[in-house]
Amino acid sequence: MQSVAKEKPDLRKKVHEVPHKPGVYLMRDRFNRVIYVGKARDLRKRVSSYFLPSKLAVADIKTRAMLDAVWDFETHTVRSEAESILLEGKLIKEYRPRYNLSFRDDKRFLLVKIDMSEEWPRFRLARFKKDDGARYFGPYAHSGALRQTLNFMRKKFGVLTFGRGSPTERELKSATYQVPTRLSQITAGQYRERVAQACEFLEGHSREMIATLEEEMRKAAEKMDFEKAAELRNMTEDLRSTTKPMRRFTRGSLPSAIDPMAEVRALADALQLPRPPVVMECFDISNISTTHVVASMVCFRDGVPDKDCYRRYRVRTVEGQDDFASMAEVVRRRYSRVLLEAREANPDAAEFSQENPNEAISRGIRDIVEAAVLGGLNDDDDAAETAATTAKFVAVRLPDVIIVDGGKGQLSAACRELQRLGLHDLPIIGLAKEHEEIYRPGRALPLQLPVDSGALRLLQRIRDEAHRFANAYHQLLMKKRIGESILDDCPGVSQNRKNLLLRRFGSVNRLRKASVEEIAATEGIGPKLAQEVHRFLQRH
């Protein structure tokens, strides 16, 4: 009797269950063997691309053969793209899939090794962790960032980061190790104290040092030394990448996918809310430089990011670095705009200070364009007006919970603005980063949730996303500022003429591509100056 061939399952339905998260995916054949392991910044997008007819049509022979052999797949989410690289390498070495070429050899991620039994211990790179009594740090996914971090440690702590054995005469007298003093002027015992500090740094105790570098970057930017500011920014990013805690993936320790709605329900229980919060909005202030104090508002819907509702701000009314006043301004701008537009759309609606403001708003703003409601939050009124005429009609509502990044001060500032708007009963909390304490209005003591609590993990994800979004906007403005500063060195270009050129062309890159005639057509820029600007930008 002939056996009936098993029908290949349709995996396109399963793709819709994959989260938009970084992680790894495993492709399996009909015998449940792993035949391919891949990583992705967005698992849903990457995995779904394999099952598009257009993908199969243009795929090479190897990819087509793999897709024909795939009968199932599984995904595992991680916390960052760097972790996905580490986990991908671990799984490829474990399963040795037939369609993977990279990681099939024995090349491993870098470790940092230090043998404390040596008289003058050195920090060295290693590929293998041996049972030799030495201390190991890592593994590290970004080798470039790791090497830059070792260079920083050599200069900051005055430790040896290459070579073997006791320091040579050249190393003892070298100016490379002059912080705080040369090796020739200290004993081996004093040197080991430096080593202990460097070890603590690699273990993640680097917050104060990174904060110092950020302060130096801010001062450099204020002095218009943008080259040094950019160098300090890159150094800070490398240090964060290296000293950020990484999970070690071992057999049986694969991370499992989160359950967003379970975490939402857990948060409702923890905060004693009447119902699970469907919409949550979180605010964060980024004031690395007084040149650009910016803020972000991210929105989570049903426990997952709703990026269409993200907003970013330039703080306008606050001078210097004042987190409390900046938070007050941003909260005021956000919710006064929502209430104002809702009231204009439906003048007959009930007062918005009632117990459930969303009921009044939902009746009045079903036909409001989102960009019109939220226009002006991006500090570009013209762009907001343009977007208002073209954006799709959506319903806008107040959130079920507001989260501010910070402690009592930020929370109090936000609460005062909500009360002035009549939103007395809108739930709001503050999440303090140092001890992950949750502050609530009218409660003297903060709430601390267990570290493995789903509610806390959800709050941390929201807070970290707001922080990432704010920093990304700040870096964008700094990069733009650094790019524009080149015009300050162009002869004959005053601040007013610089503004006219940037307003017409939008950026230095576009101005560099423009012809002399196009530059001369700018108001206030004559043919002679246009020629000078064109020549200057071609040389620089």
- Please check the confidence at residue 92 and state whether its pLDDT lies above 50: yes
* pLDDT tens string 124-164: 888 777 777 788 887 776 667 777 778 777 877 778 877 77
User: Which residues, including other chains, have CB under 8 Å from residue 34's CB and lie 6 or more apart?
Assistant: 26, 27, 28, 91, 95, 97
Residue with tokens 């956000």: 334
Return the DSSP state at 312: E
- Please check the confidence at residue 114 and state whether its pLDDT lies above 60: yes
Average per-residue pLDDT in the chain?
A: 76
- What residues does 281 pair with on adjacent strands? 299, 402
Residue with tokens 């800070």: 236
Query: In the prediction, which pLDDT does 354 show?
Result: 43
- Judged by average pLDDT, the poorest of 145-154, 509-518, 527-536 is 145-154
Query: In the prediction, which pLDDT does 244 show?
Result: 57
Tell me the DSSP string of 238-259. Answer: HHHHHHS--PPP-TT-PPPPP-
- Please check the confidence at residue 451 and state whether its pLDDT lies above 90: no
**Pairwise pLDDT comparison (159 vs 484), residue with the higher score:** 159
* Mean pLDDT to the nearest integer, 469-477: 78
Tokens of residue 417, six digits: 């603005």
**Pairwise pLDDT comparison (439 vs 425), residue with the higher score:** 439
* pLDDT tens string 32-52: 788 898 888 889 988 888 888
pTM score, two decimals? Answer: 0.44
- Please check the confidence at residue 264 and state whether its pLDDT lies above 90: yes
Counting Cα atoms < 13 Å in the Cβ hemisphere of 374 gives 21
The alpha carbon torsion through 147, 151, 153, 158 (nearest 10 deg) reads 140
- Please check the confidence at residue 168 and state whether its pLDDT lies above 60: yes
Percent of the chain residues past pLDDT 70, beyond the cut: 75
**Pairwise pLDDT comparison (530 vs 481), residue with the higher score:** 530
- Judged by average pLDDT, the poorest of 113-127, 277-291, 333-347, 368-382 is 368-382
List C-alpha distances in Å: 376 to 125, 276, 286.
Answer: 51, 31, 19
Tokens of residue 443, six digits: 């409660």
Distance CA 361, CA 300 (A): 19
Alpha helices, H only, 30-80: 43-49, 53-58, 61-69
Query: In the prediction, which pLDDT does 273 show?
Result: 94
Query: In the prediction, which pLDDT does 347 show?
Result: 66
**For residue 369, what pLDDT band results from cuts at 50, 70 and 90?**
very low
Distance CA 370, CA 451 (A): 37
Return the DSSP state at 188: H
Find, among 483, 486, 326, the residue nearest to 410 by Cα: 326
* pLDDT tens string 170-223: 777 776 666 666 777 788 888 888 888 788 777 765 566 667 667 777 777 777
Query: In the prediction, which pLDDT does 409 show?
Result: 92
Distance CA 264, CA 400 (A): 11
Give the chain's count of helices (H) and strands (E): 21, 13
* pLDDT tens string 301-356: 999 999 889 999 988 888 777 889 999 999 999 999 888 877 776 666 544 444 45
- Judged by average pLDDT, the poorest of 186-195, 366-375, 456-465, 504-513 is 366-375
Find, among 540, 526, 448, the residue nearest to 490 by Cα: 540
- What residues does 112 pair with on adjacent strands? 125, 137
Distance CA 46, CA 81 (A): 13
Query: In the prediction, which pLDDT does 371 show?
Result: 35
**Pairwise pLDDT comparison (532 vs 350), residue with the higher score:** 532
To the nearest 10 degrees (0 to 180), the angle between helices 226-243 and 454-484 is 160
Percent of the chain residues past pLDDT 90, beyond the cut: 17
- Please check the confidence at residue 433 and state whether its pLDDT lies above 70: yes
Enumerate domains of the chain plus CATH numbers.
Answer: 12-95 (3.40.1440.10), 110-243 (no CATH), 260-474 (3.30.420.340), 490-539 (1.10.150.20)
Query: In the prediction, which pLDDT does 5 show?
Result: 52
